[in-house]
Structure 1
Amino acid sequence: MSHVYDDPRPFGGRVRRQTVAAAACVVLGLGLIGGAVTGSWLVGDSADAGQRGAFATAAGLWHNVPVDQLFPRTVTGRGAGPGGADRTWTRIAVAPDSGCADAFDPLLGKALAPAGCERLLRATYTDATQSHVTTVGLLFTEADAAGMRSLETRFKNEDLYRRTDLMPRPYAPRGTVAAGFGTAQRASWTVSVLTDAPVVVYAVSGWADGRAVDDPQPATDATRSGATTAPAQAGLGHEAKGLADRVERGLRKSVVAASEQPS
């Protein structure tokens, strides 16, 4: 800035010039800031609109996507078993889509009630050895994004994911290896409340021989290293978590694919 002080014009002229220059800088700066803020709002609006669109798309998947896409006939779980072993599950049967009346134990039904029930889809799988059976479910709720966030927060803060009186019920199709898979046979389970879709994903596993379980354990505990309960030792926590995770991934892929389709 030394050239300013070398200006031969009177000091007042220099002040006026500096004032004008400063004002121009302020105007330019405000313009740039305003443009940046406006741009961020536009980007935010676009992102929010995309999220709202994906949420709405997910809400309609239960009647817009083939059942084989939501519940594939065969599901591969690479590294999903104990010690990182691979798993393969074969679908035994798909339950007729339904509402939620009598679909859950009373306390779990009460916990999920604030989100409403648009549709419930369920399928039961068995592992490659037909030693284990697992029911996986997709509960399509009536809630908006705020409602799903509220439900997820409650499940997390109150530790509802781990309560044995909030286990999902299995679907036990007659004439299959899962015919004896009742409420007393539940060994491990997982429940996931999604916040980017109006969906609750869950899975519950047990033995295919119909044995009752005295100490069911949530999959988060049954999959931990060193867990010694019978469900953990048998890998039933991995069965529930691995299958639920892959059905959830498939759901998300279906949302993306449906969102990218031309209108």
Structure 2
Amino acid sequence: MDDAPEGSAGARPPPVRDTAPEQTTTRPRPTADDAPPVKGTVDLTPGPGAGRPFVSFARPALYDDTTTRLRPVGAWVRPRAAAAAACAVLGLGLIGGAVTGSWLTGESSATGSTRSAYAVTGELWHSVPVDRLLPPILKGEGAGPGGADRSWTRVAVAPDSTCEAAFDPLLSKALAPAGCLRLVRATYTDATRSHVTTVGLLFTKADADGMRALRNRFTEEGLDRRPDLMPRTYPAKDTVAEDFGDAQRASWTMSVLPDAPVVAYAVSGFADGRAVTDPEPAPEAMGSNTASAPAQSGLGHEAKGIADRVERGLRKTIARAEEA
């Protein structure tokens, strides 16, 4: 009964085979748990394509070489941020250095403010009140001999004019290259009314190069110290300066401005009309080793003190006009 035929009732089932089915798929690509391939080498393990080899390079820098764990973000952000900050600081330093260099060498004046100063200065003689150019009262703290304080009162203002007959012929010839746009003048007296000083502002027609050439010539040739190139006075009738003529000129100063088309000057003398035979330029009359009348009377300080304050006021006026 144990030998019943196949397919009949009570037949035994066929025996179970122990053999596993054969692998029919290709090996998958390595996972993160597998050992990483060598950088820059060719992995010959069959890939999922047509069994062709594929190239495996190093993992991106975002990964650690020994684990599959991501590197902390700060590990690569901080160095880059530090480098960016260093570049920014370096750039600002270079810009600041360039700006400072241009300040020190005067490039900014040559290309910016100097040009605007030349543009506005030629208008000042008729657009600015005379009291701003030639104030009624000038204060001279420390402007006298030995640092003594001085003050000066304006006694007369000349009508603005051309330069015709305003200077001696030789001085007119020296100033001619710059041209004469307008001349404004006033005469002051000191607190004791014993000294008188005429101050003038000559507005020229020259540009920056012309003024620079004129300034260089006056400086190199000493034209501002020659007695035959003294500016003329402005005597005004019925004032303390009525007798202040050419013969009364005792000391003077003249300055060719480097940053504006202006020549500023002042000439001083005695209010009593006495003639002076040995006039001296202000720098010499202000020296301590001279016995001349201009030096002993402090007339060099008078001319220099008044001219400096009028010049400073002019610079402030130009600055305001530039900002307007």
Unaligned 5+ residue runs, structure 1?
1-7, 10-27
Q: What's 1:255 paired with?
A: 318
How much does 1:257 deviate? 1.1
Q: Does 1:204 align with 2:204?
A: no
How much does 1:256 deviate? 0.8
Q: What's 2:43 paired with?
A: none
The structure number with the bigger radius of gyration is 2
Unaligned 5+ residue runs, structure 2?
1-38, 41-86
Q: What's 1:5 paired with?
A: none
Q: Does 1:114 align with 2:114?
A: no
Q: Does 1:59 align with 2:122?
A: yes
2:228 and 2:109 map into 1 onto residues whose CA distance is 42
Q: 1:184 aligns with which of 226, 247, 254?
A: 247
Q: Does 1:222 align with 2:285?
A: yes
Higher relative contact order at CA 8 Å, sep ≥6: structure 1 or structure 2? 1
Which amino acid is the alignment partner of residue 80 of structure 1?
A
Report if the CA contact (8 A) 2:114-2:260 is conserved.
no
Instruction: Write the deviation string for residues 123-173 of structure 1: whole angstroms up to 9, x where unpaired.
Output: 000000000000000000000000000000000111101000000000000
Q: 1:234 aligns with which of 284, 292, 297?
A: 297
Q: What's 1:89 paired with?
A: 152
How much does 1:227 deviate? 2.2
Counting aligned pairs with the same residue, the percent is: 65
Q: Does 1:69 align with 2:132?
A: yes
TM-score, normalised relative to structure 1: 0.83
2:261 and 2:241 map into 1 onto residues whose CA distance is 29
Report if the CA contact (8 A) 2:252-2:266 is conserved.
yes
How much does 1:50 deviate? 2.2
Which amino acid is the alignment partner of residue 81 of structure 1?
G
The structure that is helix-richer by fraction is 1
RMSD: 2.4
Q: Which runs of 4+ in 1 moved over 4 A?
A: 39-47
Report if the CA contact (8 A) 2:244-2:269 is conserved.
yes
1:63 and 1:166 map into 2 onto residues whose CA distance is 28
* Greater Cα shift, 228-237 or 55-64: 55-64
Q: What's 1:134 paired with?
A: 197
TM-score, normalised relative to structure 2: 0.68
